[in-house]
Amino acid sequence: MIESAVPCHKTHAVFHIPEANYLGSFAPVSEPAAADPAAEVRRALAYPIGSAPLSMLAKRAKNCVIICSDHTRPVPSRYIIPAMLEELRRDNPNIDVTLLIATGFHRGTSHAELVAKFGQEIVDREKIVVHDSRDDSKLQDAGTLPSGGRLIINKLAMETDLLVAEGFIEPHFFAGFSGGRKSVLPGIASRETVLANHCSEFIADPHARTGILEGNPIHRDMVYAAKQAKLRFIVNTVIDAEKRIVRAFAGDLEAAHAAGVEFCRKQANIEVPEADIVITTNGGYPLDMNVYQSVKGMTAAEAVCRKGGVIIMAAGCSDGHGGESFYKALSEAASPEAILADALSHPRNATIPDQWQYQILARILKDFKVIMYAPECPQEMLRSMKLDTASSPDEALEKAFAHCGKNAKVAVIPEGVSVIPVKK
Q: Are strands 96-102 and 127-130 parallel, antiparallel or unpaired?
A: parallel
Residue 23 pLDDT class (50, 70, 90 cuts)? very high
Q: Where are the beta strands (DSSP E) in 355-416?
A: 369-373, 388-389, 410-413
Task: List pLDDT tens digits, range 26-73.
Answer: 998 889 999 999 999 999 999 999 999 999 999 999 999 999 999 878
Residues 364-377 have a mean pLDDT of 97
In the predicted model, is pLDDT for residue 107 greater than 90?
Answer: no
- 416 secondary structure, DSSP code: G
pTM: 0.88
Spatial separation of the C-alpha atoms in residues 385 and 11, rounded to whole Å: 25
Task: List pLDDT tens digits, range 132-160.
Answer: 999 999 999 999 999 899 999 999 999 99
Active site annotation includes 172: yes
Share of the chain above pLDDT 70, in %: 100
Task: List pLDDT tens digits, range 260-301.
Answer: 999 999 999 999 999 999 999 999 998 899 999 999 999 999
Q: Which of 9, 106, 131, 198 is catalytic?
A: 106
Backbone angles phi, psi at 95, to 5 degrees: -60, 135
Amino acid at 97: V
What domains can be seen in the chain, in order of their start residue?
2-27+273-423 (3.90.226.30), 37-267 (3.40.50.11440)
DSSP string for residues in 147-202: TS-EEEEEHHHHH-SEEEEEEE--EETTTEE-SGGGGTTTTTB-HHHHHHHT-HHH
Question: 108 pairs with which residues across the strands?
Answer: none
Active site annotation includes 106: yes
Q: Which of 9, 71, 131, 172 is catalytic?
A: 172
In the predicted model, is pLDDT for residue 376 greater than 90?
Answer: yes
